[in-house]
């Protein structure tokens, strides 16, 4: 039985020495294997994973290979466990940890910064200057579960105490997996100005971050909140989450519509969550002078940007990575107070042992899937399945 030296455990939560974990194989292929149950070190806890949401970045890792060379050969990192949007129960405490208790329910952030570089000291741990230096032998303290270290498509995972957000028993497992998504939206609005009460906000792209961006902006008092996108079913959910206006960009010109809805002035802020090639230019032309853009998504190729328009109109451009500056704690507070219902974007749930089906639903948007959640169950044996 699991009893590492210096680690506090409880008989109420027996922990096996090995656990079931999905690992990468070839492109689009994952396999359910046995792995040693990880051991928390100083300032870390062991989390029993109770639910994991699938993110678009997980799909990139599974199908395209990054991170590619932690342990395995290019282009895929064999034996790596992806998944980063998870929640669960604290079941073991590393040496000296007293900030959390065994049995406590938590949801997790992805990033634990090194805590030493100037970005971490500024609260920008998702932009840690030592990001990625633990791919090989050099460990600078930074970890990003599901990116630079094993993630959450498994039964147990270690997390730094700085990445944990306590949740109440009233919050469901599925809703708790969405705190990081809401936190990313919150981080974007923090960088744009924080309290946006009375300011006009455009959210571009009704994906999970965009939809919760609408909810967070409205909860912060933004007026009006305008959502743009291409799928009417997603735009409808945006309405339910607080959007005052929705624009289907396949049916009308988004820039012209935003200017019309803002009395010809343009919006104060744009939260860009679509990653579309023309999104930066569209966002810049939606804004009034002195407006601000936050990029929370990115295209997969270089795109031309109308820098002259940005300069002439004193437009500010920000980019964010993940959910920095403890934004997840603020997002969880909003969700706990029922300021918005994040579960509107949770569409499907599967057992963890059926991860390939869950991946297919998320990737191909089967049945209009938005957020697909998997929940661990006891499983035996190893198998290899294509995620297609």
CATH number at residue 276: 3.40.50.720
Place of tokens 């994973």: 49
Q: Does residue 229 sit in helix, strand or coil?
A: strand
For residue 130, give Cα distances in angstroms to 118, 123, 148, 156: 10, 14, 11, 25
**Number of domains present in the structure of the chain:** 2
Looking at the structure, tell me whether residues 205 and 259 fall in a common domain. yes
Say yes or no: 157 and 38 in one domain.
yes
Looking at the predicted structure, is the pLDDT value of residue 194 above 50? yes
CB of 47 closer than 8 Å to CB of 107: no
Given the structure tokens 């929705």, which residue do they identify?
Answer: 246
Q: What integer is the mean pLDDT of 33-61?
A: 95
Q: Roughly what angle, to the nearest 10 degrees, separates helices 179-192 and 327-336?
A: 120
Instruction: List the CATH number of the domain containing 150.
Output: 3.90.180.10
80-84, 193-197, 203-207, range with the lowest pLDDT = 193-197
Residue found by looking up tokens 């909860």 in the block? 219
Compute the distance between CA of residue 199 and CA of residue 195 in angstroms, rounded to an integer. Answer: 9
- What pLDDT is stored for residue 377 in this prediction? 80
Residue 200 shares a structural domain with residue 152: no
Answer yes or no: are the C-beta atoms of 97 and 9 closer than 8 Å.
no
The packing angle between helices 208-219 and 232-240, to 10°, is 30
Residue 383: both structure tokens together: 């198998």
Which segments of 100-145 does DSSP mark as H helices, in order?
Answer: 118-121
pLDDT (tens digit, 9 = 90+) per residue, 309-365? 999 999 999 999 888 889 999 999 999 999 999 999 999 999 999 999 999 999 999
Do 275 and 356 fall within a single domain?
no
**What is the model's pLDDT at position 382?**
41
In the predicted model, what is the mean pLDDT of the chain?
Answer: 91
Contact 244, 226 (CB under 8 A): yes
Residues in the chain: 388
Q: Are residues 227 and 346 in the same domain?
A: no
Let me know: does 124 contact 134? Beta carbons within 8 Å. Answer: no
Domain check: are 30 and 99 in the same one? yes
Mean pLDDT of 249-273: 97
Mark whether 36 and 161 lie in a shared domain: yes
Residue 353 maps to a domain:
yes
Q: Which two tokens stand for residue 332?
A: 């969880």
37: containing domain: 18-110+145-177+341-386
């Amino acid at each position: 039985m699991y009893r590492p030296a210096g680690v506090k455990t409880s008989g109420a939560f027996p922990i096996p020495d090995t656990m079931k974990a999905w690992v990468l194989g070839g492109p689009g292929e994952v396999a359910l294997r046995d792995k040693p149950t990880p051991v928390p070190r100083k300032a870390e806890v062991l989390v029993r994973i109770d639910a994991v949401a699938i993110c678009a970045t997980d799909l990139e890792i599974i199908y395209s290979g990054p991170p590619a060379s932690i342990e395995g050969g290019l282009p895929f990192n064999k034996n790596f466990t992806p998944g980063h949007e998870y929640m669960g129960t604290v079941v073991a405490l590393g040496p000296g940890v007293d900030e959390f208790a065994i049995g406590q329910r938590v949801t997790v952030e992805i990033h634990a910064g090194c805590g030493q570089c100037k970005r971490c000291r500024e609260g920008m741990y998702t932009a840690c200057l030592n990001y990625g230096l633990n791919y090989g032998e050099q460990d600078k303290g930074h970890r990003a579960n599901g990116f630079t270290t094993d993630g959450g498509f498994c039964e147990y995972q270690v997390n730094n105490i700085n990445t944990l957000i306590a949740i109440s028993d009233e919050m469901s497992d599925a809703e708790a997996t969405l705190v990081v998504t809401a936190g990313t939206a919150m981080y974007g609005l923090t960088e744009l100005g924080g309290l946006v009460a009375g300011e006009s906000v455009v959210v571009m792209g009704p994906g999970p971050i965009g939809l919760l961006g609408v909810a967070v902006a409205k909860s912060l008092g933004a007026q009006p909140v305008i959502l743009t996108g291409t799928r009417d079913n997603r735009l409808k959910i945006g309405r339910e989450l607080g959007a005052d206006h929705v624009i289907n960009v396949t049916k009308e010109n988004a820039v012209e519509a935003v200017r019309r809805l803002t009395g010809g002035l343009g919006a104060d802020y744009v939260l860009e969550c679509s990653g579309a090639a023309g999104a930066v230019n569209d966002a810049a032309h939606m804004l009034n002078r002195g407006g601000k853009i936050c990029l929370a998504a990115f295209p997969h190729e270089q795109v031309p940007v109308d820098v002259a328009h940005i300069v002439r109109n004193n437009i500010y451009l920000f980019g964010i990575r993940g959910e920095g500056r403890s934004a997840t704690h603020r997002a969880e507070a909003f969700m706990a107070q029922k300021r918005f219902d994040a579960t509107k974007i949770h569409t499907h749930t599967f057992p963890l042992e059926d991860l390939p089906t869950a991946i297919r639903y998320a990737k191909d948007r089967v049945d209009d899937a938005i957020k697909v959640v998997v929940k661990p169950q006891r499983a035996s044996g190893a198998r290899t399945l294509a995620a297609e």
